Structure 1
Amino acid sequence: MAAAGAELQGKYQKLAQEYSKLRAQNQVLKKGVVDEQANSASLKEQLKMKDQSLRKLQQEMDSLTFRNQQLAKRVELLQDELALSEAKGKKNKKSGEPSSQLSQEQKSVFDEDLQKKIEENERLHIRFFEADEQHKHLEAELKNRLEVLETDAAQHQAVVDSLTRKYTDTIEKLQNDKTKLEIKSQTLEREAKECRFRAEECQQQLKNLHADLGRRLDDSLCIINEKVPFNDTRSSQYNALNVPLHNRRCQLKLRDIAGQALAFVQDLVTALLNFHTYMEQRVQIFPIDSATDTISPLNQKFSQYLHENASYVRPLEEGMLHLFESITEDTVTVLETTVKLKVFSEHLTSYTCFLRKILPYQLKSLEEECESSLCTAALRARNLELHNDMKKITAVFEKLHVYISLIVLPSIKPEGLLRTNYSSVFTYIAADLHGFHNVMKGENKRGVSNLKWAIS
C-alpha cells in the first residue's frame, strides 16, 4: 500500500509539473493575444485616421470642384465678354488704333489668367487622383493586415480556449486524485494504527512467552542439575565416539538411492560429454569452417578448452561409482562415514572450475557468431537464449559445488556442520537440481541439443 501511495504521489507531482508548464504556455499565449489585439487596435486607429484624411481630401476635392465650376463660369463669362468686345470692336472699327490695343491687352490678360486657372485645375486633379489611389492602396493593405491579425487572434483565442479546457480537466483530475490520495492516506493511517496496536499486543505476548520460557528453562536446568550426574553431549570429541545404530532396511534403501543417483550422474555425464562435443564441433564449422579457413583466435582457444572436457566430466561418474560401491548392507552409512563423498566433491569442484574457465569464451563466441553476416534473426535469438542459459548452468553448478562441500564436512570435520542443518542443505541441493532440470528442459525445447536429462 505504501508503494501504491508513493506511485500516486509521484503521479500527482508529475501532473502538477505538467499543469505548471501548461500554465506558463498559457501566459505566453495570452500575452501574444493581448499584443495582437493591441496591434489590431493600432491598425484600426490608423485606418480611422486614413478615413479622416480621405474625407478631408474629399472635402478639398469638392471645394476644388466647386472652384473649378466657378472658374469655368468665369471663363464662359470672360469668353462672352470677349465675344461682345469683338462685336463692339467690329462696330467701332473706325474709332481708331488705341481702342483696338486696349481690347487686345484685355484679351491677353484674360487668356493668361484662364491658362493659369486651367493648369492649377489640372494639378489639383492630378493630386486628387494620386491621393485617392494612395488611399485605396493603403486601405486595401490595412484591410488585409486586419484580416490576418483577426485570423491570428481567432486562432490564438481557440488555442487559449483549448488550453483552458485542458487545464480545467487537468485540475479536476488532480483534485480527484488528491481526494483519492487523501482517502487512501486516511485508510493507511487507520491501518497503521491497527498494526501498531497489534504490534503492541504481539510484543506483550512475546514478553509473556519470554517470561514463561525463562521459568520453564530455569525449572529444566534445576531438574537436569539434580537428576543428570554426567552429560557428555557438550563435547564434540565425545560425540564423535558415539556408535551409530545399524539398520539393514535403511542401508538397502540408501543403496537404492545411491544407485539411482549413480544412474542420474551417468546420464548427466553422457549428456555433458555430448553437449561439450557438440559445442566444439559447432565452433569448428560455424560461422567459419576450420577445414577451409582459419577460425578466430577466440574460437581456437575455446575449442582447445572444449576438447579437454572429458578429463573433467568422466571423473564425476567415477566418483559417484566409488560412493555407490562403499554403501553395502553390512556398513553403517551416515554423513560421518561417507568418506568417498569427498572424492566426488573434489571432481565436482574441478568440473565447476572448468565451467567457470570456459564461460567467458562461450559468451564471447556466441556474441561473435551473432555479429556474423551468416547469422539469421532466428539463430541470433536462439544464441541470446543460450547466452543466458549458460550463465544459469554455471551458477547452478557453483551452488551445487558449495552444497556438496557442506555435506562432506561431517566426514572430515564433524563440528563443521551441525546435524540440525543437514535437512536444510539437502533441501537446497534438491531445489538447485530442480532449477538445473528446468534450465536444460528449456534448452531441449529450443533445439540447442537433443539430450535427455534424467535429473528430477
Structure 2
Amino acid sequence: MASAELQGKYQKLAQEYSKLRAQNQVLKKGVVDEQANSAALKEQLKMKEQSLRKLQQEMDSLTFRNLQLAKRVELLQDELALSEPRGKKNKKSGESSSQLSQEQKSVFDEDLQKKIEENERLHIQFFEADEQHKHVEAELRSRLATLETEAAQHQAVVDGLTRKYMETIEKLQNDKAKLEVKSQTLEKEAKECRLRTEECQLQLKNLHEDLSGRLEESLSIINEKVPFNDTKYSQYNALNVPLHNRRHQLKMRDIAGQALAFVQDLVTALLNFHTYTEQRIQIFPVDSAIDTISPLNQKFSQYLHENASYVRPLEEGMLHLFESITEDTVTVLETTVKLKTFSEHLTSYICFLRKILPYQLKSLEEECESSLCTSALRARNLELSQDMKKMTAVFEKLQTYIALLALPRACRCHQIKMRSYWIKESPKSNEWDPYKEREISRQRHKEFGDRDTRGKAI
C-alpha cells in the first residue's frame, strides 16, 4: 500500500517536473528574444549617436563658414563706406566706377542674402534633427530600461524555476532511493516469508501425520479400555470436578483486565459527555446567568447532574469482577458471580439513558428552533439526535447479552432457546427484539416459578 502511494507520488512529481520544464523552455525563449531586442535597440541607439555627432560636425562647419561670410560682409561694408566719400568728390570722373561698384554691391547683397537664408535653413534643420534625435533617444532609453526590467524579472523567474527543478529532482532521487531500498527490503521479507511458509507447511504436514497417528491410537485405546465415557453427556459431565488450568486462569484475568481498561475509558468518556451536555444547555441558546432557561432544559439539567451515580458503578462493578478472578480459582460463567452485579449496574445506567433520551431530543429540537442556531449547527444537532438513539440501542443490546451471561445455566439455556425460537418464528425480520423477548422471558420465568411452587407444595 505504501509502495503504491509512493509510486503515485513519484508519477505526480514527474508530471509536475515535465510541466515546469516546458514552462522553463518558454521562459528561456522569451528571455533570449528580449535580449535580442535589447541588443538591436542598443545598436540603433549607437547609430543615432553617430548621426548626431555627424550633424554636430556639420553644424560646427556651417557656423565657421557663417562667421567667415559675416566677416566678409563687414569687410565689404567697410569698403563700401570708404568708397562712397571718394565717389562724391569724383562724381564726374568716376560715374563709370560708381556704377561698377553698385553692381558689385548688389551682387554681394544678393549673395549675402542667399547665405543668410541658407544659414537660417540649416539652423532650422539642425534644431529639428536635434529635437528628433533627443525624442528618439528618450524613447529608446525608456524602452531599454523597460526591457532590462523585464529581462531581470524573467531571469529571476528562470532562476526560481531552476532552483525548484533542482529541489524536485533531488526529492525525486531521494524518493527513488527510498523506494529501491524499500523494494529490496520487501523482496527480502517476501523471500523470508516464503521460506517460513515452506517450513510451516512441512511442520503442519508432520504434525498432521503425528496427530493422525495419535488419534488412531487414542481411539483404539478408548474403544478397548474405556467402558463408560461420562463426558459424552452434559448431565453426567456437570458432576465432574473441573480441572484447574493455570494458563486458562491467566488468560481470563488478562481478558478481564482489558475489559476493565475499556470500561474505565468508557466511564471517563460518558462522564465528560454528560457533564459537557449539562454545561452546554446552561449557556446556549439561553445563558442561565442572564436569563431563565426553559423548564425542559431545567429538568434535563437536573437529570444530567445525577449522571455520576449511574456511570461510576459501572467501573466499580467491573473492578470487583476483575478482582474476583484470581490464579487460584476456576473461572467459568457459574463462578463469576460478580458479573451479575455489573449487569445490574449496566441495567441501571440503561434506565438512566432511556429517561434522558426524550429530554435530549426535545432540547435539541428547541435549540434548532432558536434564531441563534445556524444551518451547520442544526445539521450537527440532527446527527447528534440520531447518534443518541443508536447509542441507546447499542447499550440495550449489550445489556441483553451481559444479562444472559449473568443468568444461571438453566435460565441462560432457556434464554438462548427463546432467542433461537424468536429468530425462527420471525423470518421476515433478521433482527432480534430484546423488549419482546424480555416479556416472553418474564412469562416463562413466572411459569417456572409457579411450577417450582407447586412442586414444593407437593
* Structure 1: gaps (5+ residues): 247-267, 320-332, 373-389, 418-456
The superposition leaves residues 248-270 of structure 1 with CA deviations (integer Å, 9 ceiling, x where unpaired) of xxxxxxxxxxxxxxxxxxxx9xx
1:111 positional shift: 2.6
Is the counterpart of residue 218 in structure 1 residue 216 in structure 2? yes
Superposed counterparts of 1:277-288, under 5 Å: 286-287=282-283
- Counterparts of 1:138 and 1:284 in 2: how far apart (Å)? 78
Equivalent position of 2:410 in the other structure: 411
- Counterparts of 1:354 and 1:363 in 2: how far apart (Å)? 15
Superposed counterparts of 1:283-362, under 5 Å: 286-287=282-283, 293-296=291-294, 299-300=297-298, 302-303=300-301, 335=333, 345=343, 348-349=346-347, 351-355=349-353, 358=356
Equivalent position of 1:206 in the other structure: 204
Contact 1:19 1:170 in 2 (8 A): yes
Amino acid at match of 2:55: L
Larger RCO (CA under 8 A, 6+ residues apart) = 1
Equivalent position of 1:167 in the other structure: 165
Equivalent position of 2:109 in the other structure: 111
Equivalent position of 2:426 in the other structure: none
Alignment partner of 2:73 out of 55, 72, 75: 75
Contact 2:404 2:415 in 1 (8 A): no
> Would the alpha carbon gap of residues 104 and 297 (structure 1) be closer, same or farther in structure 2, given more than 3 Å must change?
farther
- Counterparts of 1:353 and 1:160 in 2: how far apart (Å)? 72
Amino acid at match of 2:402: Y
1:145 positional shift: 4.1
* Structure 2: gaps (5+ residues): 243-263, 318-330, 371-387, 417-458
Amino acid at match of 1:402: Y
1:97 positional shift: 7.3
Q: TM-score, normalised by structure 1?
A: 0.56
- SS of the residue 2:92 aligns to: helix
Contact 2:281 2:297 in 1 (8 A): no
1:55 positional shift: 3.8
Superposed counterparts of 1:8-87, under 5 Å: 9=7, 12-13=10-11, 15-16=13-14, 19-20=17-18, 22-62=20-60, 64-65=62-63, 67-69=65-67, 71-72=69-70, 75-76=73-74, 78-79=76-77, 82-83=80-81, 86=84
- Counterparts of 2:414 and 2:203 in 1: how far apart (Å)? 36
- Counterparts of 2:308 and 2:50 in 1: how far apart (Å)? 109
1:407 positional shift: 3.8
Between 1:183-192 and 1:79-88, the stretch displaced more is 79-88
Contact 1:352 1:401 in 2 (8 A): no
- Counterparts of 1:281 and 1:182 in 2: how far apart (Å)? 53
1:14 positional shift: 6.0
Amino acid at match of 1:411: A
Amino acid at match of 1:351: Y
Corresponding residue pairs, total: 351
Equivalent position of 1:402 in the other structure: 401
Contact 1:22 1:167 in 2 (8 A): yes
Contact 1:409 1:416 in 2 (8 A): no
> Would the alpha carbon gap of residues 84 and 310 (structure 1) be closer, same or farther in structure 2, given more than 3 Å must change?
closer
CA RMSD of aligned residues (A): 5.5
Contact 1:336 1:414 in 2 (8 A): no
The superposition leaves residues 214-254 of structure 1 with CA deviations (integer Å, 9 ceiling, x where unpaired) of 33333333443444566575555x469x44769xxxxxxxx
Identity %: 77
Contact 2:296 2:359 in 1 (8 A): yes
Alignment partner of 1:90 out of 88, 97, 120: 88
- Counterparts of 2:150 and 2:100 in 1: how far apart (Å)? 74
- Counterparts of 1:93 and 1:208 in 2: how far apart (Å)? 164
Contact 1:289 1:295 in 2 (8 A): yes
The superposition leaves residues 285-314 of structure 1 with CA deviations (integer Å, 9 ceiling, x where unpaired) of 94468799541466246247659989989x
Amino acid at match of 1:128: F
Contact 2:296 2:363 in 1 (8 A): yes
- Counterparts of 2:84 and 2:114 in 1: how far apart (Å)? 23
1:213 positional shift: 2.1
The superposition leaves residues 95-141 of structure 1 with CA deviations (integer Å, 9 ceiling, x where unpaired) of 58787667556534543442342133123223313422442453355
Amino acid at match of 2:48: K
Contact 1:283 1:299 in 2 (8 A): no
1:71 positional shift: 4.0
Q: TM-score, normalised by structure 2?
A: 0.56
- Counterparts of 1:58 and 1:298 in 2: how far apart (Å)? 103
Contact 1:61 1:128 in 2 (8 A): yes
> Would the alpha carbon gap of residues 48 and 282 (structure 1) be closer, same or farther in structure 2, given more than 3 Å must change?
closer
